[in-house]
Amino acid sequence: MNIVFVLFPNLTQLDFTGPLQVLSRLPGARVHLAASTMAPVSTDTPALTIPPTTTFADCPPPDLLCVPGGFGVDDAIRDAELMAFVRRAGERARWLTSVCTGAFVLGAARLLKGKKATTHWAYHAELARVGAIPTKARVVRDGNVVTGGGVTAGLDFAFSVAAEVAGEAVARAIQLGLEYDPHPPFDCGTPERADAMTLDALQKRYGPRLSTLREALAEALARA
């Protein structure tokens, strides 16, 4: 089973390293990190760059495609080679998946039309722009499309995908091995439960990002 993560500059690294930790433990998994070139890919964390294992051109056809998110999504949507790779995968892959704003890469490739989907809370309403049905949940499955919410939702997403792909017993064994029994020290991980000041500060930060994403999506959908 070829599990392919799509890498692009300025991705949010945990969107991909979380699911990678879980899905790479699936029996028979062959994991590929695919990018435009073999040069290490930048992430939102300046200290961390990720060496790809393959280019899009050389990557075997994915059985499971996973697209992470991050501020780099705007440019990823404008990358013709990346988008062609995702569209090709869309025709063949058994599973099409995303974490966080990676959903908009699937969406720009017209793979979310009429599908229930989720993404990072700050971008959730934007899913309608790509014809998806915005669905408030940490993990959403609609047919062969599985989307996860923001960043850390990639873990809940990955255990759900693991169970779909390899059965619940396998998913449970991986969960115990990774000691996934979360106890957040604070209860403020969603806008509904955050205090007003924190929420306001975050919304101010994401506001400009919503505009640039909308532009990138409008261009992509006009071309498609």
Query: Which residues in this chain contact a second copy in the complex, by CB under 8 A?
Result: 12-14, 17-18, 20-21, 24, 31-33, 40, 45-51, 53, 100, 120-121, 138-139, 149-153, 155-156, 159-160, 163, 168-169, 171-173, 175-191, 193-195, 197-199, 201-202, 205
Provide the residue type at 96 as one letter.
L
Closer of 109 and 174 to a second copy (Cβ) = 174
Closer of 21 and 135 to a second copy (Cβ) = 21
Residue 70 falls in which region: left (phi positive, over 0), alpha (psi -120 to 50) or beta: left
Closer of 49 and 211 to a second copy (Cβ) = 49
Q: At its nearest, how many Å lie between a second copy and the CB of residue 195?
A: 7
- Which tokens sit at 223? 């071309």
- The CA distances from residue 49 to 10, 16, 71, 120, 150, in Å, are 9, 12, 15, 23, 21
For residue 59, indicate whether it is catalytic.
Answer: no
Q: Which residues does 73 contact at the CB level (< 8 Å), separation at least 6?
A: 8, 11, 101, 102, 104, 105, 213, 216
- Which tokens sit at 206? 């994401």
Q: At its nearest, how many Å lie between a second copy and the CB of residue 224?
A: 29
Which member of 59, 66, 100, 188 is catalytic?
100
Closer of 138 and 220 to a second copy (Cβ) = 138
List, in sequence order, every residue forming a beta bridge with 148; answer none if it has no partner: 99, 139
Closer of 36 and 43 to a second copy (Cβ) = 43
- Which tokens sit at 191? 């806008």
Q: At its nearest, how many Å lie between a second copy and the CB of residue 191?
A: 7
Provide the residue type at 130 as one letter.
V
Q: At its nearest, how many Å lie between a second copy and the CB of residue 130?
A: 20
Helix (H, G, I), strand (E, B) or coil at 148: strand
Q: At its nearest, how many Å lie between a second copy and the CB of residue 66?
A: 12
Helix (H, G, I), strand (E, B) or coil at 176: helix
Report which of 26, 33, 24 is spatially closest to residue 4, judged by C-alpha positions.
33
- Active site positions, annotated: 100
